[in-house]
Amino acid sequence: MNLDYMARRLLGRPTCVVAGGAKLYRSARIRNASGRDHHIRVGSRSMILGELLTFAHGGQIQIGEWCYVGEGTRIWSAKRITIGDRVLIAHNVNIFDNLTHPVDAGARHQQFHRIVTSGHPKEIDLGERAIDISSDAWIGANAIILRGVTVGMGGIVGAGAVVTRNVPDYTIVAGNPAHPIRELTPAERDEM
């Protein structure tokens, strides 16, 4: 029995496409408001313990092979979040390619009202900007990655960092807002 079928059977609605050997753990939450399974894809041998969410008006999450998404982590897409291969995302990380709510107070209340009464709106502008997390990146616990960011190949985001700008390849960033700490040495890069 494939995991996609099991997830659909347990939740009674479309969820995601899960490649062979990937695992959705008990703590995993798939919230695909678009209703299109292919909008959330999990690559082979990846392990999902956190939450993957797409909004009704859009959003796509693509997770590569041999990735880990820790418990309590939330990945919310209204545009596109692409995660390469062998990416480790620790627990309680938040990744948002959108503002999650309109900036205007009236529009924000209307969105909230619609969510409560009839579900996520199918037409809304949340200032979406795609996120790309390259292969071999490591995102530390409690980090926040905001819309429009690219984390480069082998990049490391320190625990608790708030990432508002691109992370160069093989660079460690930390702080709020995150800033470069140092580049990885050639020995630390050990590319796959």
The torsion of the CA quartet 70, 59, 148, 67, rounded to 10 degrees, works out to 30
Is the model more confident about 130 or about 98?
Answer: 130
In this prediction, residue 14 carries a pLDDT of 47
Residue 5 above 50 pLDDT? Answer: no
The torsion of the CA quartet 112, 110, 36, 70, rounded to 10 degrees, works out to -30
Please tell me the distance from the alpha carbon of residue 19 to that of residue 3, in angstroms, as a whole number: 8
Q: How many independent structural domains does the chain possess?
A: 1
CATH of the domain at 29: 2.160.10.10
Question: 3-class SS at 47?
Answer: strand
Element holding 5 (H helix, E strand): helix 3-11
Take residue 75 and report the two structure tokens written for it: 């990945």
- Which segment of 21-35, 101-115, 166-180 scores lowest on mean pLDDT? 101-115
Residue 113 above 80 pLDDT? Answer: yes
Are residues 131 and 80 in contact, defined by beta-carbon separation less than 8 angstroms?
Answer: yes
Residue 64 has, within 13 A of its CA and on its CB side, a CA count of 15
pLDDT band at 121 (very low <50, low <70, confident <90, very high): confident
Residue 127 above 90 pLDDT? Answer: no
Positions marked active-site:
101
Take residue 76 and report the two structure tokens written for it: 């919310």
Question: 3-class SS at 189?
Answer: helix
Residue 20 has, within 13 A of its CA and on its CB side, a CA count of 0
What does the pLDDT look like over 88-103, one tens digit per residue? 999 999 999 988 887 8
Instruction: Tell me which residue of 97, 96, 124 sits closest to 110, measured CA to CA.
Output: 124
Element holding 57 (H helix, E strand): none
pLDDT band at 176 (very low <50, low <70, confident <90, very high): very high
Take residue 179 and report the two structure tokens written for it: 């800033």
Mean of the per-residue pLDDT values of the chain: 90
Look up the domain containing 149 and give its range: 3-189
- Average pLDDT in the 162-179 region? 98
Element holding 152 (H helix, E strand): none
Are residues 40 and 16 in contact, defined by beta-carbon separation less than 8 angstroms?
Answer: yes
